[in-house]
Structure 1
Amino acid sequence: MKEEKKYKILVLSDLKKSTQSVLKSTLSFAKIINADIHFFYIKKPTEIIKNDNQLSAKRAINKESFMIDKKIKNLLTSFSDDNNTSIKYSFSVGNVKNEIDNYLNKNNPDIVVLGKRKSKSFNILGDNITDFVLQNYKGSVIIASEENILEPHKKLSLGFLNDTKEDTNISLALDLKAKSKEPVKYFRVVKNSEIEKETHQNLEGKKIEYVFEENDTIAKNISNYLSKSNVNLLCLTKSKKANDTAFLKKIINDTNVSLLLTT
């Protein structure tokens, strides 16, 4: 019998209010795809060190490290006990982007999870960390919605946007499709179309597709249909093209579901 792949999920957190909802969605996702979770937090030295005295700075870092460790341990123990799942963690003091880059290169996770706030989706950990991860990390990224949490013990309602290939990151896509509610929904944006919205089913009756004409309100229109069709995870492809990046930012800002960005 073929052994099921064990994915590695990295949660990047700022330990703010949205952390609990992000963890809940991550735990749900991890159970669906069979994944281990590692929680990672970075503290800027400028938030700890108040003067130039080296000894004083070292003491301040040691004291803060003790407090951070205690805070994370208490948080994760609660989630681990409630869900019977072990969550490993680590933290560091340093430049946020450098520490993230070092961790990614050393540990090579399959999926990175970031939280999504209502008005600061591209500034989640400060210094445009979401943007940094999307541009520099080659693997899949989940941007977890604070409002629409992936609930444990419930199947996904999965959607695919535009040219997202179902064979993109093939094993992950197959795992998701197998455990998603049927039918999977497909959302497509077209240019210069006379059809503003179109819904149809394929011959097997298992595929539902929503077609939208590209315009200034396209992201909000898609968001409305995500809500109407009860999709709670939307899959789309990462791209470094300027037009695609602008469209992605609109999708992140205007939708209230979790997003899975694949390569």
Structure 2
Amino acid sequence: MANPALMPTSPLRANFHYVVLMDLSKASYTALKQAVNMAKRTSALIEILYVERPLKVVGNENQLSALRELESESQNSKRKLQNLIELVREEEQIQTIFTYRVGHPLTQIKAYLSETRPHLVFYGKKKSNIGRWWPGISQYLLQAYQGAVFISRENGSKHLDRSSSIGSIGSTTRSWSSEVVKTLSKNHRGNHVVFKLSALKKNPVNENHNRFTEDPKALNEATTFEFEGKHHLTQGISRYAAKCNIGLFCWKRPLGELRQDDKNIRIEKLIEKLDMPLLITGQS
């Protein structure tokens, strides 16, 4: 009987299909934890994508020995992945599968995301590029990939819960077109925090203070901070995000030219400044 973890599984059994890029590092385990939290809030299937690099076969004179070693490593990796998805299934009650591929990680990831078109890709950002996977994956996800991406930090402990806020730039996430973000915003009972640019106000202004309220009318509002245009918006976000207990920051991937509220933002700098995960919507 075929291993159910390796069988093609349709994400139609859940509302959304999430892919976690896994290399068994601490950063990728953090990404998986964030995916589990998001899957609970949005009813999603989690698929773990693992890519094995066949480098030893290329550089070893004894090809047969190298192939045996690669097969041994392959079986070991698959056992770890199988144990991992069984743990998530049993403890978290989340639909979870894994896909195993061999090849250049970035090439395989590009091909797989193009084939499956998941609703959200989870990636754990390491402190450096040193790791099992070659550098370039984060650059691809941020600059070339057009789908939605969830970036978590290697040592990040923050996550979205009932007591934390959802942060965004320009407008509350309730008005965004992303189905994942709309579902998340609809189910979230905490506060929404919006950061804007304003040519009229020199200092950040807290316009609304409907924080952590169960009042349905108040939930349509958001705590808003406005900054004068000449101020670097990234600095303001990093300063007030922690004070507002933001558990997830959402950024709408621009189409064409950057919008006014995004023109002073470089997404790489925002990732470095924030100590909470970042959800970047896809282009649509």
TM over 0.5, shorter chain:
yes
For the 8 Å contact 1:21–1:149, the answer to whether it is kept is no
1:161 deviation in Å? Answer: 1.5
Q: Structure 1: how far apart are the matches of 2:265 and 2:57?
A: 36
Q: Does 1:158 align with 2:166?
A: yes
- Partner secondary structure for residue 29 of structure 2: helix
Corresponding position of 1:83: 92
CA RMSD of aligned residues (A): 3.3
Q: Structure 2: how far apart are the matches of 1:252 and 1:184?
A: 19
Q: 1:200 to 1:164 in 2, by over 3 A?
A: closer
Q: 1:33 to 1:53 in 2, by over 3 A?
A: same
Q: Structure 1: how far apart are the matches of 2:124 and 2:16?
A: 19
Q: Does 1:185 align with 2:193?
A: yes
Q: Does 1:258 align with 2:270?
A: no
Unaligned runs of 5+ residues in structure 1 are: none
For the 8 Å contact 2:129–2:135, the answer to whether it is kept is no
- Partner secondary structure for residue 278 of structure 2: strand
Corresponding position of 1:198: 205
TM-superposition CA deviations, 1:97-139 (whole Å, max 9, x none): 110011112111111011133x348999431211112233222
TM-superposition CA deviations, 1:152-188 (whole Å, max 9, x none): x757621111368754434223211112234311112
Q: 1:76 to 1:104 in 2, by over 3 A?
A: same
Q: Does 1:32 align with 2:51?
A: no
Q: Structure 2: how far apart are the matches of 1:140 and 1:223?
A: 22
The residue correspondences of 1:208-223 to structure 2 (distance < 5 A) are 208-213=223-228, 218-223=233-238
- Partner secondary structure for residue 200 of structure 1: coil
Corresponding position of 1:235: 250
For the 8 Å contact 2:106–2:136, the answer to whether it is kept is no
Q: Alignment length, in residue pairs? A: 258
Q: Structure 2: how far apart are the matches of 1:107 and 1:225?
A: 37
For the 8 Å contact 1:123–1:129, the answer to whether it is kept is no
For the 8 Å contact 1:121–1:253, the answer to whether it is kept is no
Q: 1:48 to 1:187 in 2, by over 3 A?
A: farther
